[in-house]
Structure 1
Amino acid sequence: MIIETLSWGKLEVNEEQLYHFPKGLPGFDEETEFALIAMAEAPFWYLQSIKNKGLSFLLGDPFAFYLAYEFELPDDEAEELEIKSDVVVRCIITLKENVEQSTINLLAPVVLNPVNRYGKQIILHKAPYHTKHNLLQEVSVIDGKDGG
């Protein structure tokens, strides 16, 4: 399938890269079809809307930046995504002109089921995280005091 993007123009994606977000993403409820595009040799991906070439999100592997990052996926969310065993967790990154000020949203991870290719951004209501953790700060334990 060929999709159009602002960053790369026309891009060919295969079926394994396509994810369905039944309820869209917060603020983008109408956008339900995305391609997950890996960046070569880096812990980053783009979540690119299939329909809107101007809508994409930079995602990162939260475990690559915050070794102690963990949360329990609520049963109803796991059930909605039909997760049995395989799960992929990515978090939205906000890049700043000054890279040291870039942040990662650990409060609302994007949870993906690579088997059926369903996805959802989950808001962790009982977690010590917030939406703007410093991307480049090495932290072994997240206690809410990392200033991000």
Structure 2
Amino acid sequence: MKVETAQFGQIEVPEEQIFSFERGIPGFESHTRFALIELPEGPFAYLQSLEDSHIALLITEPFVFYKNYEFDLPESVVEEMNIESDLMIRNIVTLNIKPEQSTINLLAPLVFNVANKRARQVILHSSEYKSRHPLWSNHESSTPIEKAGE
């Protein structure tokens, strides 16, 4: 599928990388179809809106930065998304002019059902995770909660 992007112009994205966010994403509720555009180098990707070429969120695999990141997915979400096994988790990254001050939203992961191409941002209630954990940290052995307090 040809996708128009503000960053790369028009690019070809395989159908298997198109996901439906039936509820949209908080702040972008009217945008329900997104393309996952993997970047060739590193752990980052763009989540590109198919409705607006100027809306693209930088995302990453959280386990690259927080090896101990874990949460329980609410059963209601598992049922709604019809999740059986093929699950992918990504988190939104907020870049800063000073790269060392960039953050990752661990409080609201993006959950992708790879099998049926449905996705949703899930807000973790009763969690100690924050929406702005430091992305870069020199303390590899620290837990996410310890890192967030630095």
Both proteins in one fold, TM over 0.5: yes
TM-score of the two chains, using structure 2 as the length reference: 0.94
- Cross-structure match for 2:143: 141
How large is the RMSD of aligned CA atoms in angstroms? 1.3
Residues 83 and 37 (structure 1), Cα distance of their counterparts in 2 relative to 1, 3 Å cut: same
1:126 Cα deviation from its structure 2 partner: 1.5
- Aligned counterparts, 1:34-53, within 5 A: 34-53=34-53
- Pairs aligned (count): 148
Q: Does 1:112 align with 2:112?
A: yes
Whether contact under 8 Å (2:35, 2:47) holds in the other structure is yes
What runs of 5+ residues in structure 2 fail to find an aligned partner? none
1:79 Cα deviation from its structure 2 partner: 1.0
- Cross-structure match for 1:94: 94
1:144 Cα deviation from its structure 2 partner: 5.4
What runs of 5+ residues in structure 1 fail to find an aligned partner? none
List structure 1 segments (4+ residues) > 2 angstroms apart after TM superposition.
142-148
SS of residue paired to 1:143: helix
Deviations 1:12-43 (A, max 9, x none): 11110100000000011110000001111311
Letter in 2 for 1:126: S
1:80 Cα deviation from its structure 2 partner: 1.1
- Cross-structure match for 2:13: 13
Deviations 1:55-114 (A, max 9, x none): 010001100000110000000011111100111000000011110000000000000000
Q: Tell me the percent identity.
A: 47
- Aligned counterparts, 1:74-93, within 5 A: 74-93=74-93
Q: How far apart are the structure 1 equivalents of 2:116 and 2:141?
A: 33
Letter in 1 for 2:35: A
TM-score of the two chains, using structure 1 as the length reference: 0.95
Whether contact under 8 Å (1:68, 1:140) holds in the other structure is no
Q: How far apart are the structure 2 equivalents of 1:144 and 1:27?
A: 29
